[in-house]
Amino acid sequence: MNTENTVLQFIRENNLINSGDTVICGLSGGADSCSMVHLLFSLREKLGFDLVCAHLNHMLRDSEATRDEEFSKEYCSFLGIPFYSKKADVYTFAKGNGLSVEDAGRQIRYAFFDEIAEATGANKIATAHNRGDNAETVFMHIIRGCGIKGLCGIDPMRGRIIRPLLLLSRKDIEQYCADNRINYITDSTNLHTDYTRNKVRLSIFPQLQELNPSVEQSLCRLAENARRSCAYTDKIIENIHLYKDINSCFAPLNEIIEIDISFYGALIGKMLKTAELSCEPSQKNLDAVYSLVHSDKTTGSIDLGGNIIARLSYDKFVIIDKGNPSEFEYKLTESETININGLKIFISNLPFEKAEACIPLFEDYNDLTVRSRKTGDKIKINGMTRKLQDVFVNMKIDRMLRDRLVIITQGGQIVWTQRVGTDDKIKTMQGFPKKYIIIEKLGE
C-alpha dihedral over 388, 394, 397, 403, to 10 degrees?
20
For residue 153, pLDDT beyond 70: yes
Whether 131 contacts 166, CB under 8 Å: yes
Residue pLDDT, tens place only, 156-213? 999 999 999 999 999 999 999 999 999 999 866 665 555 677 888 888 889 998 999 9
pLDDT (tens digit, 9 = 90+) per residue, 37-62? 999 999 999 999 999 999 999 888 77
Residue 393, SS3? Answer: helix
* Minimum mean pLDDT range among 13-22, 193-202, 267-276: 193-202
DSSP secondary structure letters along 102-140: HHHHHHHHHHHHHHHHHHHT--EEE----HHHHHHHHHH
User: What pLDDT sits at residue 149?
Assistant: 81
DSSP state of 432: -
**What's residue 190's pLDDT?**
61
Q: Which of 86, 23, 11 is nearest to 52 (CA)?
A: 23
- For the chain, give the mean pLDDT: 89
CA dihedral 191, 197, 203, 209 (to 10 degrees): -120
What percent of the chain has pLDDT above 90? Answer: 56
Which domains, ranges and CATH numbers included, belong to the chain? 3-230 (3.40.50.620), 241-321 (3.30.465.60), 329-441 (no CATH)
Orientation of helix 101-120 relative to helix 90-97, angle to 10°: 120
Please tell me which residue, 203 or 131, carries the higher pLDDT value: 131
